[in-house]
Amino acid sequence: MGSNTGWHPRSRFVELSDGWRAHYVEMGRSGPPLILIHGILVSSWAWRFNIDYLARRHRVFALCQKGFGYSDKKRSRYDLQDLTDFVRRFMDRLGIERAHLVGNSLGGAVSMRLALDDPSRVDKLVLVNAAGLRFRMIDDIAKLQSVLLSPLYRALGNRWAYRLLLANLAYVNLPIDRAYMEGFLRPLRAKGAYPAFIATLRHITKDFELMEREVERIRHQTLIVWGAKDRLVPLKSGFILNNQIRRSRLEIFYNCSHCPHEEDPDRFNHLVDLYLNDEVRGQ
């Protein structure tokens, strides 16, 4: 189970019940379990500014999702249910009966799906610019799909193409420097990374449309964190989620885009830590 071949000194690998190998970073020896679930295209490395702080009062598990990061990238469906089942099997394997879930983007959709399917396994939710609603596929998303699904992109895609993509769509307040690009691109060079990403991208719009009808059934205390300058999942989606999830509160990061946990980690870490420890409550 122990290995240090991931990105962090506390990287671990575990084989799940279906034979898939999951990579995660584990920090913290006491407190309630807290699982961090990243978004599409990235890895558990996306939580590099958050793990240590949140581990002060929680057992933190930053998981690389199925097909992403340093977890296995074999052939699979890679739809929302498939990704959610991966998280559930990870919890089973590590003996985690119930956990707080913090999910960004697609990780937010996975967190909501697990809360809907198996509510007893989820304590509190923190949804960070969460996907999961149709949000009427704005122009940037449509363009993203058309480019990334094209054979030309696969042939020509490189660190400069990704850098342009990230700077224009994911961040407004984070330097996309050489160190960032190395951490971001390293797992994407692995065999199977591109097919897994494309398979996920092809499923998510339909999956979100189906889940949108169910979100109002979520009864968990939920903190919704949103970067106001997000061009991928606009702030309107945050207001909709806040209205649909009965026990939720919305915190807006006005100078952030799609990943406020990376762009303003000090505020994010403090807010989430207080919320999970009942010092800030949902409505």
Q: Which tens digits make up the pLDDT trace of 235-251? A: 999 999 999 999 999 99
C-beta separation of 264 from 45 below 8 A: no
- 148 pLDDT more than 90: no
Q: How confident is the model at residue 101 (pLDDT cuts 50, 70, 90)?
A: very high
Q: Where are the alpha helices (DSSP H) in the chain?
A: 51-54, 80-94, 106-117, 139-148, 151-156, 159-165, 178-185, 193-212, 235-244, 260-263, 265-276
**212 is a domain residue:** yes
The residue-averaged pLDDT of 219-236 equals: 94
| CB atoms inside a 10 Å sphere around CB 245 | 25
**161 is a domain residue:** yes
Q: Give the separation between CA 103 and CA 213, rounded to whole angstroms.
A: 20
**4 is a domain residue:** no
196, exposed or middle or buried, with CB in 10 Å at 0-12, 13-18, 19+? buried
Residue tagged 């240590």 (tokens): 52
Q: What is the CA radius of gyration of the chain?
A: 17
How large is the angle between the packed helices 80-94 and 106-117, nearest 10 degrees?
70
**281 is a domain residue:** no
Q: How confident is the model at residue 197 (pLDDT cuts 50, 70, 90)?
A: confident
Number of domains present in the structure of the chain: 1
Supply the pLDDT for residue 27: 98
Host H or E run for residue 225: strand 222-227
- 45 pLDDT more than 70: yes
Supply the pLDDT for residue 159: 57
* Full domain range(s) for residue 173: 11-276
pTM: 0.89
Q: What is the largest CA-CA distance in the chain?
A: 50
**51 is a domain residue:** yes
Per the prediction, the chain carries an average pLDDT of: 87
Q: Give the separation between CA 158 and CA 188, rounded to whole angstroms.
A: 11
Supply the pLDDT for residue 129: 96
Question: Which range among 147-156, 189-198, 254-263, 271-280 has the greatest average pLDDT?
Answer: 254-263
CATH number (domain holding residue 218): 3.40.50.1820
Supply the pLDDT for residue 165: 63
Q: Is the dihedral of CA 249, 253, 259, 262 positive or negative?
A: negative
Supply the pLDDT for residue 133: 82
Supply the pLDDT for residue 274: 97
Helices (H) then strands (E): counts for the chain: 11, 8
Residue tagged 């937010």 (tokens): 108
**1 is a domain residue:** no
**283 is a domain residue:** no
The residue-averaged pLDDT of 135-160 equals: 52
Supply the pLDDT for residue 281: 52
**2 is a domain residue:** no
- 149 pLDDT more than 70: no
Distance, first Cα to last Cα, the chain = 40
